[in-house]
Amino acid sequence: MAYLDHAATTPLRPEVVDAMLPFLTGGHGNPSGGHRVAQRAKVALEEARERIAAVLGCAPGEVVLTSGGTEADNLAVKGAARAARDAGIGDGVVVSAIEHKAVLASAERLRTEGFRVGYAPVGPDGIVDTDRLAGRLDEDTVLVSVMLVNNEVGAVQDLDAVAAVVREHAPRALLHTDAVQAAPWLDLRGAAAVAPLISVTGHKIGGPVGTGALVVRPPATVRPEIEGGGQERGLRGGTNDVAGAVGFATALELTAARRDAEGPRLAGLRDRLAAGLAALGGVERHGDPARTVPGIWNGRIGGVESEELLFLLDAAGVQAAAGASCSSGAAEASHVLSAMGVERGAALESVRLSLGHTTTDADVDEALGVIAAAVERLREARKPVRPAS
Amino acid sequence: MSGARAERVLVAMSGGVDSSVAAAMLRDDGHDVAGVTLRLWGGESDSGCCSVSDVEDARRVAAQLGIPHHVFNLADDFEAAVVGPYVESYAAGETPNPCVECNRAIKFGRLLERAVALGFDAVATGHHARVEAGPEGRLRLLRGADPAKDQSYVLAVLGRHELARTRLPVGRITKAEVRARAAALGLRTAAKPESMDVCFVERGRRVEFLAGRAPATVAPGPVVDRAGRRVGSHRGVARFTVGQRRGVGVAAGERRYVVDVDAATATVTIGGHDDLLCDSVALRSLTFVDEPPPPGARIAVQSRAHGAAAPGRLVGDRVHFDQPQVRVAPGQLVVFYDGDEVIGSGTATRA
């Protein structure tokens, strides 16, 4: 077995499980309550929040705990845009063309509510073209969303450059960045310095699924999406998941503490993977390797449809993914690759291999062997013929 | 075809009961089975395959059976090979059989080709029909064991090369037995209703679907009688098929039927029941499971998926009926049988 789908989700770190267990087996207090059991839960929750804030480079009061990255993106994009319009600031929203569907769907929702929504294009390297971004900004732009690291191709944006363009051309806009895929690889304190809204999640860094946060720093304000008992300073109702918060905090700390060692280790494994794949011939890697996180390889293997390759890989115990999946599990041509100028046929021959904290040398060896055999088989079987459409 | 040796079989699982039981039967016969659900259509539809819940049903059944399950997105191929020709057929005033095209081009075309590339020996489906080896090993396509559920008609376009890699396990049993086996295995699809409609068109919205893709099919035009006299008007040829009685929109003493649809002039011709009868039907795109029968061979002719077969003879590209038959709508598949055995097929033309 070689699990090369860490960008989809990661195995829980054992230390995270250990940290969570006391709260799953005994810490049953509702942190909003008044008795001592509840107070213990409240203390644990706030300690976790402080640890999360320290890693993210913000104040504990700026951390809004959510159910994950998707909720954080929804709260950031819809919540900030609606709050800004309510305040009479403006009605323009600009997002990059390669955002996660959570951002794109939120932007589309805003469009149906009368917001002006623009899409900032990217180059073949997956990096936002700041000149063309500038052309989509104006005085009435209230929110700009650019993901720090793309989930499909791993492209790392120059957030400082984006922030500078936003400051100049849309002085009233808030910058949001989806840092879900950045968390394993980058020090997010840099992002916090320029983006007042930052989305993160636990399960991409060895933490539990169902945990995450939106950082909301001044001058940003958001209108809540989920209202209830006033939790999270009124920005996100619902009983807090103490075990989840503790697990998320632990995963963030471990990830940060090991980043300097893990980044180069996994970059080395990824480069070995890339070299082995290049040796297959007819392979085109997507994006600029110098501006890609260590954990992701995304490329086209010419003459091999990704659905067929993934079928053989799965049968041989190697888990990987096409760029994006719809809810039924069928492969779709990726909007990210399309935005990068990759034509549809090539996109349907593209796969993403993503490495993470459990990936070993042996995984890379196993995957390369399995992929080489599968590619040879499929190329030998035939040149795929797709009816013209 | 079962029991001889263990094969690697890819089962096309629609999420319905027949293909669920097909997978179970092949597994129980000792074959190495994997399930696949095809995503064929991204648009709106409420009938048949492709919905997320159908994929989920197939996935859950596969998990219950302990076989792997995958989803293949063949929507591009389906659009090119099935949906496009379906629209073109209506635009030409014909009445297509999209399920036949799907079997030909998708399930036993693209999917079979992919299955072979992936190392499978065969593709299986839940169709009620049988593939059996006849004398000298010649493969025969036969009606399913349950006469009421026979689906050999929609597979009649397959040839011996496809049949060699086709497994149809439920064709050996009745639909009641299929449901009983599914219930005995505790499969969640045991009581699932059958899908009856064209899977990519919402129920009752065929005309709207066609209007969006081929506006000429909903352009108004004249209704004329057999003598060419205008007797009324209609709101688009897409609403009519030869043999249809409803909706001809004219008041008349006796019952009137559509006897011809001319898409080029948007003209619908109506007549009495006698005008519907014909002695023969001209065909195009003839196919034969194996060799063509000798000229003039006696055959039974079936021109609807579940219609009765009429005796006749095949001469060249024309079928002659022993007794006058109701006209076959152009575009419909006409299947030739010898008893329970499918000999071949052709597509009815206007000529």
Query: What are the pLDDT digits (tens) for B226-260?
Result: 999 999 999 999 999 999 987 775 565 678 899 99
Q: Is B305 exposed, middle or buried, given 0-12, 13-18 or 19+ CB atoms closer than 10 A?
A: middle
Report, as an integer, the average pLDDT of A27-53. Answer: 92
Q: How confident is the model at residue A90 (pLDDT cuts 50, 70, 90)?
A: very high
Work out the percent of chain B whose per-residue pLDDT is above 70.
Answer: 95
User: Looking at CA atoms only, how far is residue B113 from chain A in angstroms?
Assistant: 9
A386 contacts chain B (CB < 8 A): yes
Report CB contact under 8 Å: A330, B80. no
Report CB contact under 8 Å: B76, A387. yes
Query: What are the pLDDT digits (tens) for A294-316?
Result: 999 999 999 999 999 999 999 99
Report CB contact under 8 Å: A332, B71. no
- Least Cα distance to A104 among A96, A116, A113 occurs for A96
A389: Cα separation from own chain's centroid: 33
Report, as an integer, the average pLDDT of A102-129. Answer: 98
pLDDT at res. B240: 93
Q: How many whole angstroms separate alpha carbon B127 and alpha carbon B163? A: 13
Reply yes or no on whether the pLDDT at B114 is more than 50.
yes
Cβ A174 vs Cβ A196: under 8 Å: yes
Work out the percent of chain B whose per-residue pLDDT is above 90.
Answer: 81
CA count, 13 A, side-chain hemisphere, B207: 11
At residue B167, φ and ψ (nearest 5 deg) are -125, 130
Tokens of A248: 């998320």
Contact residues, chain A, for B59 at CB < 8 Å:
329
The DSSP secondary structure of A88-146, one letter per residue, reads TS--EEEEETT--HHHHHHHHHHHHTT-EEEEE-B-TTS-B-HHHHHHT--TTEEEEE-
Provide the CATH topology of domain A2-8+259-381: Aspartate Aminotransferase, domain 1 (3.90.1150)
Reply yes or no on whether the pLDDT at B1 is more than 70.
no
B8-184 shares its CATH topology with B276-348: no
Q: How many whole angstroms separate alpha carbon B66 and alpha carbon B84? A: 37
* b/e per residue A261-295 (b: at least 16 CB within 10 A): ebbebbbebbeebbebbeebeebebbbbeebbbbb
pLDDT at res. B45: 46
Q: Which CATH class is domain A14-254?
A: alpha beta
Query: What are the pLDDT digits (tens) for B70-102?
Result: 999 999 999 999 999 999 999 999 999 999 999
Query: What are the pLDDT digits (tens) for A120-133?
Result: 999 999 999 999 99
Cβ A322 vs Cβ A310: under 8 Å: yes
Report CB contact under 8 Å: B116, A381. yes
Q: How many whole angstroms separate alpha carbon B308 and alpha carbon B277? A: 16
- Structural domain B219-271, CATH architecture: Roll (2.30)
From residue B260, alpha-carbon distances to B90, B218, B244, B249 in Å are 13, 16, 10, 15
Reply yes or no on whether the pLDDT at A74 is more than 60.
yes
Reply yes or no on whether the pLDDT at B48 is more than 90.
no
Q: How many CB atoms lie within 10 A of CB A382?
A: 12
Q: Can you say whether the dihedral through the CA atoms of A33, A39, A41, A42 is positive or negative?
A: positive
Annotated domain spans of chain A: 2-8+259-381, 14-254
Alpha helices in chain B (DSSP H): 17-28, 52-65, 75-78, 84-91, 98-101, 111-117, 160-163, 175-184, 206-213, 273-276
Q: How confident is the model at residue B47 (pLDDT cuts 50, 70, 90)?
A: very low
pLDDT at res. B294: 93
B22: Cα separation from own chain's centroid: 19
Q: How many whole angstroms separate alpha carbon B122 and alpha carbon B47? A: 28
* Residues of A designated catalytic: 326
The DSSP secondary structure of B243-281, one letter per residue, reads T--TT-----SS--EEEEEETTTTEEEEE-HHHHEEEEE
Residues of B with CB under 8 A from a CB of A: 34, 37, 39, 52, 55-56, 59, 68, 70-73, 75-77, 79-81, 113-114, 116-119
Q: Is A104 exposed, middle or buried, given 0-12, 13-18 or 19+ CB atoms closer than 10 A?
A: buried
Q: How many whole angstroms separate alpha carbon B304 and alpha carbon A378? A: 39
**Residue from the list B71, B114, B116 with its beta carbon closest to the beta carbon of A330:** B71
Report, as an integer, the average pLDDT of A8-37. Answer: 92
Q: How many whole angstroms separate alpha carbon B83 and alpha carbon B94? A: 14
Nearest CA in chain B to A311: B70
Q: How confident is the model at residue A387 (pLDDT cuts 50, 70, 90)?
A: low
Residues in chain A: 389
CA count, 13 A, side-chain hemisphere, B26: 35
Report, as an integer, the average pLDDT of A377-381. Answer: 94
Beta strands B341-348; B139-143: pairing state: antiparallel
Cβ A190 vs Cβ A161: under 8 Å: no
Reply yes or no on whether the pLDDT at A29 is more than 60.
yes
Nearest CA in chain B to A379: B117
Q: How confident is the model at residue B44 (pLDDT cuts 50, 70, 90)?
A: very low
Annotated domain spans of chain B: 8-184, 219-271, 276-348
User: Looking at CA atoms only, how far is residue A326 from chain B in angstroms?
Assistant: 9
| The model's pTM | 0.90
Contact residues, chain B, for A388 at CB < 8 Å:
80
Report CB contact under 8 Å: A312, B73. no
Looking at chain A from residue 323 to 342, which residues have their Cβ under 8 Å from any Cβ of chain B? 326-332
Range B8-184 has CATH code 3.40.50.620: yes
Contact residues, chain A, for B71 at CB < 8 Å:
328-331
Instruction: Between A324 and B144, name the one with better pLDDT.
Output: B144
Contact residues, chain A, for B13 at CB < 8 Å:
none
Report CB contact under 8 Å: B73, A388. no
Report CB contact under 8 Å: B59, A386. no
The CATH code belonging to domain B276-348 is: 2.40.30.10
Reply yes or no on whether the pLDDT at B42 is more than 80.
no
User: Looking at CA atoms only, how far is residue A333 from chain B in angstroms?
Assistant: 10
Query: What are the pLDDT digits (tens) for A266-293?
Result: 999 999 999 999 999 999 999 999 999 9
Reply yes or no on whether the pLDDT at B49 is more than 80.
no
Query: What are the pLDDT digits (tens) for B184-207?
Result: 999 999 988 887 778 888 888 999
Nearest CA in chain B to A304: B117
Contact residues, chain B, for A326 at CB < 8 Å:
39
**Residue from the list B39, B59, B80 with its beta carbon closest to the beta carbon of A389:** B80
User: Which residue, among B45, B71, B116, would best test binding to A if mutated, counting the most A CBs under 10 Å from its CB?
Assistant: B71
Reply yes or no on whether the pLDDT at B2 is more than 50.
no
Report, as an integer, the average pLDDT of B22-40. Answer: 97
User: Looking at CA atoms only, how far is residue A278 from chain B in angstroms?
Assistant: 23
Reply yes or no on whether the pLDDT at A173 is more than 70.
yes
Between CA B112 and CA B169, with CA B120 as vertex, the angle to 5 degrees is 75
Report, as an integer, the average pLDDT of B339-343. Answer: 96
Q: To which residue do tokens 């195009």 refer?
A: B284
How many Cβ contacts (< 8 angstroms) between chains A and B? 54
Instruction: Between A233 and A27, name the one with better pLDDT.
Output: A233
Report CB contact under 8 Å: B80, A307. no
Cβ A68 vs Cβ A212: under 8 Å: yes
Report CB contact under 8 Å: B71, A329. yes
pLDDT at res. B118: 97
B49 included as an active-site residue: no
Contacts of A301 (CB under 8 A, 6+ apart): A277, A280, A282, A283, A309, A349, A350, A351, A375
Nearest CA in chain A to B120: A312
Contacts of B148 (CB under 8 A, 6+ apart): B175
Reply yes or no on whether the pLDDT at B46 is more than 50.
no
- Least Cα distance to A178 among A220, A219, A150 occurs for A150
